[in-house]
Amino acid sequence: MGGGMEAHKNKWIEDWSSARENLEHNFRWTRRNFALVGLFGIAIPVFVYKGIIKEFHMQDEDAGRPPRKFL
């Protein structure tokens, strides 16, 4: 129906998509990767959790209730 309308491939976009599809095969652990996983995968979630728990305990204290236990 609409023959002869092939798209022109962009070399840089094709290279980028190929690298993205094969990321798990080309990935290497480096100091920087360990640091990023430690920061965003462990440290920040722990600090956010601790902040939320602290807020709950402050609300319990204001309401005159004993602090709730989490985990």
DSSP state of 1: -
Residue 1 pLDDT > 80: no
Report how far residue 16's alpha carbon sits from residue 20's, in angstroms, rounded to the nearest whole number. Answer: 6
Contact 61, 67 (CB under 8 A): yes
> Each residue of 33-71: pLDDT tens digit?
999 999 999 999 999 999 999 999 999 999 999 989 887
